[in-house]
Amino acid sequence: MTATDGGGEPMRERVSALARRSPQQYGLLEAHVGSIVTAIERCDRHYPTARQVYDEIDDPSLEPTTVGYLLTILADLGVVAIHTKSGAANRYDLTRVPDGALAELERLFDERSERD
């Protein structure tokens, strides 16, 4: 299965492009992919703020601002969408996460860590 929704490009290609374009963002996502995926899966809100997603995280090393940054990276990958209202905190649209995208993202990072 290959999740495509970032302009039709397969997830593997989007993650590889992220690694080339922004090693810092890639490294941050790689370090916390399990925590952010679990938090998104646990979140029962359709349009949560980063703080509301953060509340679902068990990892005490993550800060709410880091969770917001991770969500923005996921939006760039086409996994979640940013739903903003002027003058308010960003909200993240979790209603249109492509089927299998979160599981594939975790699998891709697991594969990459096994090769390293």
What CATH number is attached to the domain comprising 61? 1.10.10.10
> Between the CA of residue 76 and those of 26, 39, 44, 70, 103, what are the distances in Å?
12, 18, 22, 10, 17
Could you tell me the pLDDT band of residue 4, with boundaries at 50, 70 and 90? very low
Q: What percent of the chain has pLDDT over 90?
A: 74
Q: Which domain covers residue 87, as residue numbers?
A: 9-115
Q: Is residue 4 included in any domain, yes or no?
A: no
Q: Is residue 13 included in any domain, yes or no?
A: yes
Predicted TM-score (pTM) of this structure: 0.88
Strand partners, 81: 93
Q: Which residue shows structure tokens 């940013």?
A: 82
Ranking 20-29, 31-40, 53-62, 83-92 by mean pLDDT, the lowest is 83-92
Token pair for 4? 């495509």
Distance between CA 8 and CA 98 in Å, rounded? 11
Helices (runs of H) and strands (runs of E) counted in the chain: 5, 4
Sign of CA dihedral 97, 103, 106, 107: negative
